[in-house]
């Protein structure tokens, strides 16, 4: 399998590192890709015979394979490769540059794995249509819940089930803030400041605390698992900025926690602060994410894990790549 990486930031580099670290194990399961291109914002490393990931990681653009100004959007269409892994920065305003990368790859006969929510939030049905028409696979495990393999579980392990609804905590930053407020009785602003100091929250935390990031993930869950055709404007969104320490304390006294809960079923799609029993499997603390699937045969299946982190995300990205490799080998 020939593979291209698009976006070589935290996640892109972690994917390369884990591929090197796990080379033997990957070989054993028949995953021995030749990485023919790695694209960055201002150029790329290209070698049809196969790049040395170790050299790229250590030498950066002083490596001999570096081609200044060679951009993914111009190169992907004609690139001789089977799988494009899209890991550029998320943009939920117009989806770019990821949307163009994914469209170009699928249109030109390449399977795609992405960790980038933007293109899926804005164009899920269109991208799935292109994939179907071109007989290509588009997988996006890393876009929701970081390391949590929820799409894989739904697609493979729960195949016999009808999935009725999905409930979850989909943003680690807002969960961290609510956990701090509950455990240490601090104000929203103090908890947010601490999240920023620890690097969990962006300088502009709007998307996290207003529920936009979680709503984006809910849209991907709704479309990917419940086969709906939702867009972000369909989601009823309420952030956590109005939660006070008094509210979290009162909730605690009654055996509840205030959590920012995403929920979707056939009739409802929303993200809002909710009271969750302290004994509920959804009552996870800190930056953890949790996703619970209500199904007709297995009943409730709940997955808890790290919602972010380059290595954790690389686990999901490579899980998708391995799955595509397996399917393509079986179909040969």
Ligand X SMILES: NC(=O)c1ccc[n+]([C@@H]2O[C@H](COP(=O)([O-])OP(=O)(O)OC[C@H]3O[C@@H](n4cnc5c(N)ncnc54)[C@H](OP(=O)(O)O)[C@@H]3O)[C@@H](O)[C@H]2O)c1
**Would you please indicate which residues are annotated as catalytic (active-site) residues?**
217
Burial of 43 (0-12, 13-18, 19+ CB in 10 A): middle
Buried-exposed string 102-123: b where 16+ CB fall within 10 A, e elsewhere: bbbbbeeebbbbbbbbbbbbbb
Q: Can you tell me whether residue 224 is helix, strand or coil? A: helix
Looking at residues 46 to 75 of the shown chain, list those that interact with ligand X (rule: CB under 6 A).
72
Contact map string, positions 155 to 174, toward ligand X, x by CB under 6 A: --------------------
Q: How far apart are CA 2 and CA 47, in angstroms?
A: 11
Q: Is 309 in the site for ligand X (CB under 6 A)?
A: yes
Q: Find the binding residues for ligand X in span 134-153 (CB under 6 A).
A: 142, 146
315 interacts with ligand X by CB under 6 A: no
Our finding on whether 116 is near ligand X (CB under 6 A) is yes
Does 289 bind ligand X (CB under 6 A)? Our answer is no
In the chain, alpha helices (H): 10-21, 23-28, 53-59, 72-75, 98-107, 117-133, 150-152, 172-184, 188-197, 206-209, 212-225, 245-253, 310-331
Does position 39 interact with ligand X (CB under 6 A)? The reply is: yes
**Residue choice 217, 310, 323, 324 for contact with ligand X (CB under 6 A):** 310
**Position closest to ligand X via CB:** 9
Residue whose CB is less far from ligand X, 117 or 260 = 117
Selected binder of ligand X within 53, 56, 84, 90 (CB under 6 A): 90
Q: Which of 173, 216, 292, 313 is the binder for ligand X (CB under 6 A)?
A: 313
Q: Where along the sequence are the contacts to ligand X (CB under 6 A)?
A: 6-12, 39-41, 72, 87-90, 97, 115-117, 142, 146, 308-310, 313
């Amino acid at each position: 399998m020939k593979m291209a990486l698009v976006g070589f930031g935290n996640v892109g580099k972690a994917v390369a590192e884990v591929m090197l670290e796990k080379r033997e194990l990957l070989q054993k399961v028949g995953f021995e890709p030749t990485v023919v291109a790695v694209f960055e914002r201002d150029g790329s490393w290209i070698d049809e015979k196969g790049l040395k990931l170790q050299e790229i990681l250590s030498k950066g653009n002083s490596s001999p394979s570096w081609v200044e100004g060679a951009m993914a959007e111009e190169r992907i269409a004609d690139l001789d490769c089977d799988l494009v892994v899209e890991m550029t920065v998320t943009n939920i305003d117009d989806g770019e540059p990821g949307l163009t990368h994914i469209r170009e790859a699928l249109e030109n006969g390449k399977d795609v794995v992405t960790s980038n929510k933007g293109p899926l939030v804005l164009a899920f049905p269109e991208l799935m249509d292109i994939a179907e028409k071109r007989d290509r696979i588009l997988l996006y495990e890393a876009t929701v819940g970081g390391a949590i393999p929820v799409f894989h579980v739904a697609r493979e392990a729960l195949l016999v089930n009808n999935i009725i609804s999905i409930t979850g905590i989909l943003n680690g930053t807002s969960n961290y803030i609510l956990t701090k407020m509950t455990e240490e009785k601090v104000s929203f602003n103090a908890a947010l400041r601490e999240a920023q100091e620890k690097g969990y929250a962006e300088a502009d935390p709007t998307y996290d605390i207003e529920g936009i990031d979680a709503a984006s993930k809910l849209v991907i869950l709704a479309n990917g698992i419940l086969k709906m055709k939702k867009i972000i404007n369909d989601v009823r969104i309420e952030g956590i900025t109005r939660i006070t320490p008094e509210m979290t304390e009162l909730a605690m006294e009654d055996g509840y926690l205030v959590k920012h809960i995403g929920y979707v079923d056939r009739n409802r799609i929303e993200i809002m602060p909710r009271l969750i029993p302290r004994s509920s499997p959804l009552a996870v603390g800190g930056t953890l994410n949790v996703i619970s699937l209500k199904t007709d045969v297995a009943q409730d299946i709940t997955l808890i894990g790290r919602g972010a982190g380059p290595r954790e995300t690389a686990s999901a990205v490579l899980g998708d790549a391995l799955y595509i490799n397996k399917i393509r080998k079986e179909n040969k």
